[in-house]
Amino acid sequence: MTRKNTYRIEILFETDKHKKTLFIGKVPYYVSTSFKDDIQIYNDKIIIEANRSAIIRLDVIFYNHFSSLYNQVLKSLLFYYGSTRKFTKIISVKISRVRSSKTLETKTFKDNQFNQVLDNTFKINHQISQDRLQELFLETPKGHSTLITISYILTANSIQSESDRFEKLWKAFNKIFTQITGEKKILIV
């Protein structure tokens, strides 16, 4: 099957720092065993280039949580915030579809058109290993566990309520525990 449609997603962040590379690589995606997407993550932007055979409506990518494009965006954002360890506002998200070197459609979302889960209260004091963060890109049970764990850790660090923060961190611990031990039971305090 040919993948003639190239989707380019560019997420721009509000930052005045010099460009710094956080990650560049080819990343597998759900339902594909042989194709990969190109992901570039910098401190000021994320660029995802994905080739697909299907024509995907640009305005619904963020509403379809089973979309491989949505999941690549989610993984890239988790990697970004896990690497930078602080909140940086997203100022825009631009998605384009290109075929035969011609841009066929483009959709741009400005910061007032979406909600960010994290806010300016988000900050992580400890560093997460880049090798561990890169595991969230894997399409394996370990990659899936890492994705869920990182999302719980990041959201826990933007919650003011101590009990809510504890709940998110406990869920992160449980996910790691079940991945390492293979146990299916959830730990109860």
Q: Quick one: tokens of 141?
A: 């049970």
The pLDDT assigned to 90 comes to 96
Q: What is the mean pLDDT of the chain?
A: 91
Residue 75 domain flag = yes
Q: Is residue 187 part of a domain?
A: no
Does the residue 188 lie in any domain?
Answer: no
pTM: 0.91
- CB–CB of 172/155 below 8 Å? no
Sheet strand arrangement including 21-28:
21-28, 36-42, 45-52, 5-13, 90-99, 102-110
| Range(s) of the domain holding residue 57 | 5-181
Percent of the chain with pLDDT over 70: 96
Asked if 89 contacts 11 with a C-beta cutoff of 8 angstroms, the reply is no
In a domain, 96, yes or no: yes
Number of domains in the chain: 1
Q: Give residue 183's pLDDT.
A: 76
Per-position DSSP letters for 56-93, written without gaps between them: --GGGGGG-TT-HHHHHHHHHHHHHHHHH-B---EEEE
- Tell me: the pLDDT tens digits for 88-124? 999 999 999 999 999 999 999 998 888 888 988 898 9
- Whether the per-residue pLDDT at 33 is higher than 60: the answer is yes
- Give the pLDDT score at 94: 97
Top-confidence residue, 17 or 20:
20
Question: Is 41 among the domain residues?
Answer: yes
175 in any annotated domain: yes
Give yes or no for a contact between 75 and 11, defined as CB atoms under 8 angstroms apart. Answer: no
Give a yes or no: residue 68 inside a domain.
Answer: yes
Query: Is the predicted pLDDT of residue 8 greater than 90, yes or no?
Result: yes
pLDDT digits (tens, 9 = 90+) for 142-185: 999 999 999 999 999 988 889 998 999 989 888 888 888 887 66
> Three-state SS for 174?
helix
Residue 42 contacts residue 33 (beta carbons within 8 Å): no
Mean pLDDT of 60-73: 90
User: β-strands 45-52, 36-42: how paired?
Assistant: antiparallel
- pLDDT at 14 (0 to 100): 94
In a domain, 186, yes or no: no
